[in-house]
Structure 1
Amino acid sequence: MTDKPIFPAIELKNVVFYYQPAGWQMSLPELILQPGQHLFIKGASGSGKTTLLNLLAGIIAPRQGEIMLGGTPFSRLSPGKRDTLRARNIGVVFQQLNLISYLSVLDNVLLSAHFAGCNNAESRQRALLLLQRLGLGADLAEQQAAALSVGQQQRVAIARALLTKPALLIADEPTSALDADNRDSFMQVLLEQANACGTTVIFVSHDAGLRQYFALQLDMQNLAQGVQPCC
């Protein structure tokens, strides 16, 4: 019996992106992350962090080069097929959380299953389990998201992003509005739950102090250097 090949969670080769008319350009020779690895991307405003995230999530395609997601040529797919693969394999935690305030906590979490085409009894059970692990019991599951504290809303966002056990989790500046105590608590919960799912994490922030939580880093000011160990 042949073992199933294990592909990198995400792989970029000779990726180039630029906006027309010609001006700003980003060039990334290589980025390879194995399943379960955690990467911290640092860079100032305007350094291209959002563009890189959009490339990784398949929202835009590179002008040159290739992006592979779990062995699939992600960047070669049609926009519709990229949308489908993204919904099933990529979770995102946004800076603004993007919860729907009038929906219940549970329904907010189940949105990711809906878009992935797997909103069923099993998804509901996993959503409730995730919420419980994140300290949000059944008594909160039916409350509107607007009724929760900011810290509780962050945990809902984590549960939503991890519900489908995505191969890749992208976190876009989710701690920028938090004080030090809440920031550290958020990081611990996020990475703990990602580890439980075996999910690869790409975390973007201008806060260099968050590097302590990561083994790998990528500096937007020196992309040619590629992925490096965190100090």
Structure 2
Amino acid sequence: MTGIKPVTDKPKIPAIELKNVVFYYRRGGWQLSLPELSLPPGQHLFIKGASGSGKTTLLNLLAGIISPRQGEIKLNGEPFSSVSAAKRDTLRARHIGVVFQQLNLISYLSVLDNVLLSAHFAGSNKQTSEQRARVLLQRLGLEPELFEQQAAALSVGQQQRVAIARALLTEPALLIADEPTSALDADNRDSFMQILLEQANACGTTVIFVSHDPGLRRYFDKQLDMQHLAQGVKSC
């Protein structure tokens, strides 16, 4: 797929960079090893791998939930894995968006309030964030009359758009998508992918997308096979 190119002028430093990263839960057991991974702003990476191959562990490393045993992870060119847990929490809130498999919307909150949660945790200006949220939701095809409805009242497709808006509200350097299309049929899956990547491109956001579905590879210019991490990132 040829996506819309980023329109924002962001620094050309890598959005996320890993060097000589090693992680294990206990010495001598299963080990994840990634010698090098560097993704510039706006690039999209597809991660594939069977259950138990380490996808969740890698996502937790990228999101700063866990730290590598060896090596270094940088976010926007700045140290990420080596800073304190509190600092990682702050950086994650400001610079990383996440779209989950189950979407994780709060059912009793309004559409607008669900989107604004990301701005709240990032410490962004409320008025500016609300203006951007309204624009982003309309760009994603949601009418203003839906903004005050509870998230539970929306269709699955509408809820997906809310989740995308929440993840992209702060124009994060990195968006991590964890199996968000696993429960969708082919038509809804392709619609979701097009919307997600178009909006990410509009923000200049780097996307890391995890899925079991090999049919989604065509949307991505880079691929990482969890079964062959020693070989690094390969072109699709």
Fold shared, TM-score > 0.5 on shorter chain: yes
Aligned with 1:100 (options 103, 106, 123): 106
Q: Which amino acid aligns with 2:182?
A: S
- Cα deviation digits, residues 74-126 of structure 1 (max 9, x gap): 01110000000000000000000000000000000000000000141110000
TM-superposed deviation, 1:7: 1.5
CA deviation profile, 1:2-36 (whole Å, cap 9, x unmatched): xx973111100000000126411100000010010
Please provide the CA RMSD for this pair.
1.1
Aligned to 1:37: 43
Which residue of 2 is the match for residue 123 of structure 1? 129
Q: Could you tell me which residue of structure 2 aligns to residue 221 of structure 1? A: 227
Q: Is 1:17 equivalent to 2:44 in the alignment?
A: no
- 2 CA distance for matches of 1:5 and 1:117? 22
2:199 to 174, 193, 201: 193
Q: 1:132 is matched by which residue type in structure 2?
A: Q
8 A contact 2:167–2:175 mirrored in 1: yes
Aligned residue number for residue 177 of structure 1: 183
Query: 5+ residue gaps in structure 2?
Result: 1-9
Q: Is the 8 A contact 2:12 2:40 kept in 1?
A: no
Contact 2:99 2:167 in 1 (8 A): yes
- Whether the aligned pair in 2 keeps the contact of 1:110 and 1:119 (CA below 8 Å) is no
Q: Which amino acid aligns with 1:138?
A: P
> Mean Cα displacement is larger for which, 39-48 or 21-30?
21-30
Unmatched 5+ stretches in structure 1: none
CA 1:74–1:210 in structure 2 vs 1: closer, same or farther (change >3 Å)?
Answer: same
CA distance in 2 between counterparts of 1:108 and 1:50 reads 25
Give how far 1:228 is off.
0.9
Is 1:202 matched with 2:208?
yes
Residue type at the aligned position of 1:120: K
> Could you tell me which amino acid in structure 1 is paired with residue 205 of structure 2?
T
TM-score (norm 1): 0.96
Amino acid at match of 1:207: D
Structure 1 residue ranges, 4+ long, deviating more than 2 angstroms after superposition: none
User: Aligned residues, how many?
Assistant: 227
Which residue in 1 is equivalent to 2:4? none
Confirm or deny that 1:139 pairs with 2:164: no
DSSP-derived class of the 1:195 partner: helix
Q: Report 1:146-161 matches (<5 A).
A: 146-161=152-167
Counterpart of 1:166 in 2: which secondary structure? coil
Q: CA deviation at 1:57?
A: 0.3
Among the aligned pairs, what percent are the same residue?
Answer: 84
